[in-house]
A and B are shown apart, each in its own frame.
Chain A
Amino acid sequence: MSHYELDARRMLCPMPVIKTQNFVATLKPGDTVEVFCTDHGALNDIPAWSRINGHEVLATRELDGGEVSITVRVGDSDD
Chain B
Amino acid sequence: MAGPQSFSDQHPMSRQRKALSLISGGLDSMLATRVIMDQGIHVEGVNFFTGFCVEGHTHAIRKKDRDKPKRNNALWVAETLGIKLHIVDVIDEYKDVVINPKHGYGANMNPCLDCKCFMVRKAHEWIREHDFDFIITGEVVGQRPMSQRRDTMPVVARESGANDLLLRPLCARNLPETLPEREGWVDREKLFDFSGRGRKPQIALARRFGIEDFAQPSGGCCFLTDEAYSHKLADLWTARGERRYELDDIMLLKVGRHLRPRPNFKLIIGREEGENNFLEGYRKQFTHIRTLSHPGPLVLIDGEPGADDITLAARIAARFSKGRDAEQVEVEITPKAGEARRENVPPLPSGEMPAAWYL
Give A contacts to B, CB under 8 Å: 10, 12-15, 17-18, 21, 39-41, 44-45, 48-49, 51-53, 66
In the bound complex, do residue B83 and residue A44 qualify as a contact, i.e. CB atoms below 8 Å apart? no
Chain B residues, CB < 8 A from A44: 69-72
Q: Is the Cβ of A10 less than 8 Å from the Cβ of B72?
A: no
Residue pairs across A and B with Cβ atoms less than 8 A apart, 12 shown, are A13-B60, A14-B47, A14-B49, A14-B72, A15-B89, A41-B56, A41-B70, A45-B71, A49-B85, A52-B83, A52-B84, A52-B85
Whether B89 contacts A18 by the Cβ 8 Å rule is yes
Contacts of B281 in A (CB 8 A): 10
Tell me if B277 counts as interface (CB < 8 A to partner A): yes
Q: What total count of A-B pairs have CB within 8 Å?
A: 64
Contact across chains for B49 and A40 when beta carbons are under 8 A apart: no
Q: How far apart sit A17 and B72, CA to CA, in the bound complex (Å)?
A: 10
Whether A13 contacts B72 by the Cβ 8 Å rule is yes
Of B73-81, B238-246, B324-332, the one contacting chain A is B73-81
Contacts of A39 in B (CB 8 A): 60
Give the CA-CA distance A41 to B65 in the complex, in Å.
Answer: 11
On whether the beta carbons of B79 and A21 are closer than 8 Å, the reply is: no
B87 touching A21, Cβ below 8 Å: yes
Q: Which residues of B contact A52 (CB under 8 A)?
A: 75, 78-79, 83-85
**Contacts of B67-125 to chain A: CB distance below 8 A:** 69-72, 74-76, 78-79, 83-89
Question: Which residues does chain A contribute within 8 Å of B322, judged by CB atoms?
Answer: none
Cβ of B55: which chain A residues have Cβ within 8 Å of it?
Answer: 13-14
- Interface residue? B59 (CB, 8 A): yes
Whether A12 contacts B71 by the Cβ 8 Å rule is no
Q: A17 to B57, Cβ gap below 8 A?
A: no
Q: How far is the CA of A47 from the CA of B60 in the complex (A)?
A: 17
Q: How far is the CA of A46 from the CA of B75 in the complex (A)?
A: 9
Determine if B57 and A12 form an interchain contact, defined as CB atoms under 8 angstroms apart: yes
Given contacts A13-B56, A15-B49, A21-B87, contact A45 B251 (CB under 8 A): no
The residue in chain A whose Cβ has the minimal distance to the Cβ of B82 is A52
Instruction: Return B166 CB to nearest CB of chain A, in Å.
Output: 24
User: Which residues from chain A contact B83 at a C-beta distance below 8 Å?
Assistant: 52
CB distance A40 to B71 under 8 Å? no
A41 to chain B: which residues have CB within 8 Å?
A: 56, 59-60, 70-72
Main secondary structure of the interface of B (DSSP, over half): mixed
- In the complex, which residue of chain A has the Cβ closest to the Cβ of B274? A66
A12 in contact with B61 given A17-B87, A18-B89 (CB within 8 Å): yes
A21 to B86, CA, bound (A): 8
Check A51 against B61 for contact (C-beta < 8 Å): no
Q: Which residues from chain B contact A66 at a C-beta distance below 8 Å?
A: 277
Chain B, residues 277-319, CB within 8 Å of chain A (1/0): the string is 1000100000000000000000000000000000000000000
B66 CB-CB contact with A under 8 Å = yes
What's the nearest-Cβ distance from chain B to residue A46, in Å?
A: 9
Nearest A residue (CB) for B69: A44
A17 to chain B minimum Cβ distance, whole angstroms, is: 6
B79:A51 contact, CB within 8 angstroms: yes
Given contacts A14-B49, A14-B55, A18-B89, whether A48 and B60 have CB atoms under 8 Å apart is no
- A sample of 9 more A-B contacts (CB under 8 A), given A49-B87, A52-B79, A52-B84, is A10-B281, A12-B57, A12-B60, A14-B87, A15-B49, A41-B56, A48-B71, A48-B72, A52-B75
Contacts of B85 in A (CB 8 A): 49, 52-53
Least Cβ–Cβ distance between B272 and chain A, in angstroms: 15
Q: How far is the CA of A48 from the CA of B87 in the complex (A)?
A: 12
Chain B residues positioned under 8 Å from A10 (CB to CB): 281
